Amino acid sequence: MAKKKQSKQVKQLSPENYIRQKARNLPIYECLVNAGWEDSKMVSVVVSRVHASGNITAGFFLVDLYCLGVKNSTYFFNYSPVEYEEQIQKIMHLDINKISYELAHNIVYAGLDYASDLGLNPHKDFTSLTRFMLEEDTEEVELIEIECGRNGKPFYMQGQFDSEQMVKRVLAQLERSVGKGNYDFALDAQADESGEKYDEEDFEEEKDEFSELTYEEKKVLFFQLLKSLEIETNADREKLSGLVISAFDELIDLKLLDESYDSYSKNMNVSLLPIEEIPFELWGVKPGELTVTDEIAELFLDAYNTVNENTKKASKKVKALKKIVGDIPAVRVLELMILQVDGNEEDSIEMRLDNYAKYPDYPVFKLQLLLIKIPGTIYPKEFREVMPGIQSLFDNRTSLHEIEFMNYFLALIELIDYDSNASKLQALNIVLEEMELPETIDEATYNQIMTIKFKMVLVYFSNIKI
């Protein structure tokens, strides 16, 4: 009997990987900029490229020539000309001018270089993705002088969505890079149409309600509020949280905060996939060893989504999944989660050790080693000294499932807690705020960080070892 000829499947690149690998080979379609950009210094730049099909892929860059450089960036992929025009009208609210590619390139890179000299990083999507919509910044691209700053100085103008934390971080960095008096700034609520700058004295007056208290006064209030929590007073609980944040700020070394922020922002340059989008790498098998059907994906997601609510129901789903795919790492991840939710710590420890022994190259199992609560455990030296960047640990991927991300986060924060390093904890907190995480993940990370802040403040006020 003749064998059926197997059709060879061509693996399609995701939009992100297509842009990284092939966008620079596409011819330029057009480049756009908002009218009056030379005066406003807030520049919306579009660089679009055309596919052989006639469809268009474009990169959008919001460039702050005053200070921040590439403040935001995104893309739209393989749009029809009509869809492209509609999208341009949505994002370019002002009058639009067509410009040369060389001018577009120089605007983006002038802002990027100016901000870099000030110690300010570009938007994470530019670093990981949208820069590939531009040519490499070499001498082959004509150099056009673009003026940055205002009146010869950096000028930070708070945007509508810039948080108070971001404002403080930017101003602290400007203080370090150019020194007091050598930069100007305007806060969103206080800047008028003429761009009149906000007084530094006004900014310095923004203090928390506990800022005037001495260490001893904060200490007394802290333990008073702890005692009041026994009767579950919501007002006191909120007041305690505010006091913890205020006291925690006193533990931060700004230089180390800045160094840690730079490190984390570079090493956590990833995005989270939608929960239903399971990357093949999460299964922990080699290409060709598993065909992920809808049934397999559905069983995995059902088990994952129900494990915190009903471990018995989750276990049934996992058993059904295991019958189909076998004893692979993804199944073991779910089994371990069930043990953890059920509080079977002894079995959980045993399974983590067994997981790593059988699959030492699986990133989640590497990270789980750091979460083993064995008395006297000393974390592996390579993890304690230099925690691997999230991309290097996950084979240079730029998007992860929340299982992968949360395991990395928990391992990283465990090390920060182990070292009682307040500056690193706050730096991580800032980076996570800027990542725009899904609400459930954002809440989980915030709660974990607040728990460790509380522990550090407790030590601060009681001088006891936790």
Q: Among candidates 397, 398, 422, 413, which has minimal Cα distance to 445?
A: 413
Same domain, 185 and 242: no
Same domain, 201 and 223: no
Is 142 domain-assigned?
no
Same domain, 181 and 222: no
Q: State the residue for tokens 């410009």.
A: 99
Model confidence at 31, pLDDT cuts 50, 70, 90, reads very high
Q: Could you tell me which residues are beta bridge partners of residue 185?
A: 156
- Residues 382-415: tens digit of each pLDDT: 555 556 778 788 888 888 999 999 999 988 888 8
Is 398 domain-assigned?
yes
- Per-residue 3-state assignment (H helix, E strand, C coil) for 80-96: CHHHHHHHHHHHCCCCE
DSSP string, 185-211: EE-TTT--TT-PPPPHHHHHT---TTT
Residue 436 per-residue DSSP state: T
- Spell out the residues 6+ positions from residue 209 whose beta carbon is closer than 8 angstroms to its own: 242, 246
- Residues 51-105: tens digit of each pLDDT: 999 999 999 999 999 999 999 899 999 999 999 999 998 887 668 999 999 999 9
- Model confidence at 204: pLDDT above 60: no
The pair of structure tokens assigned to 146 is 């673009």
Model confidence at 315, pLDDT cuts 50, 70, 90, reads very high
Coil, strand, or helix at residue 3? coil
Last residue of a domain, one of 133, 166, 194: 133
Is 383 domain-assigned?
yes
Average per-residue pLDDT for the chain: 83
Coil, strand, or helix at residue 77? strand
Last residue of a domain, one of 77, 98, 133: 133
Same domain, 31 and 113: yes
Instruction: Tell me what pLDDT residue 122 has.
Output: 85
Query: By the 8 A CB rule, do 185 and 197 touch?
Result: yes
Is 143 domain-assigned?
no
Q: Among candidates 160, 75, 63, which has minimal Cα distance to 120?
A: 63
Q: Where are the alpha helices (DSSP H) in 307-396?
A: 311-325, 329-342, 345-358, 363-368, 381-385, 390-393
Q: State the residue for tokens 């989750």.
A: 314
Coil, strand, or helix at residue 399? strand
Same domain, 166 and 227: no
Q: How far apart are CA 196 and CA 184, in angstroms?
A: 10
Model confidence at 231, pLDDT cuts 50, 70, 90, reads low
- What range defines the domain where residue 111 resides? 15-133
Q: How far apart are CA 67 and CA 84, in angstroms?
A: 30
- Spell out the residues 6+ positions from residue 238 whose beta carbon is closer than 8 angstroms to its own: none
pLDDT exceeding 90 applies to what percent of the chain? 43
Is 146 domain-assigned?
no
218, burial (CB in 10 Å: exposed 0-12, middle 13-18, buried 19+)? buried
Same domain, 54 and 36: yes
Q: How far apart are CA 339 and CA 83, in angstroms?
A: 49
Coil, strand, or helix at residue 74? strand
DSSP string, 142-161: PP-----SBTTB-EEE--TT
Q: Among candidates 93, 142, 137, 94, which has minimal Cα distance to 112?
A: 137
Q: How far apart are CA 61 and CA 4, in angstroms?
A: 50
Same domain, 198 and 124: no
Query: By the 8 A CB rule, do 31 and 104 touch?
Result: yes
Last residue of a domain, one of 192, 223, 249: 249
- Spell out the residues 6+ positions from residue 63 whose beta carbon is closer than 8 angstroms to its own: 42, 43, 44, 45, 69, 70, 71, 107, 108, 111, 112
Same domain, 344 and 425: yes
Where are the extended beta strands (E) located within 377-431? Answer: 399-400
Angle at 440 (CA atoms; ends 436, 441), nearest 5 degrees = 55
Instruction: Tell me what pLDDT residue 214 has.
Output: 82
Q: Among candidates 66, 70, 58, 67, which has minimal Cα distance to 23?
A: 58
Is 260 domain-assigned?
no
Same domain, 25 and 65: yes
Q: How far apart are CA 189 and CA 165, in angstroms?
A: 15
The pair of structure tokens assigned to 391 is 């991309």
Is 7 domain-assigned?
no
| Number of structural domains in the chain | 4
Same domain, 316 and 363: yes
Average pLDDT over residues 434-446: 83
Same domain, 172 and 292: no
Range of weakest confidence among 23-27, 314-318, 335-339, 437-441: 437-441
Same domain, 313 and 225: no
By residue count, the chain amounts to 466
Is 258 domain-assigned?
no
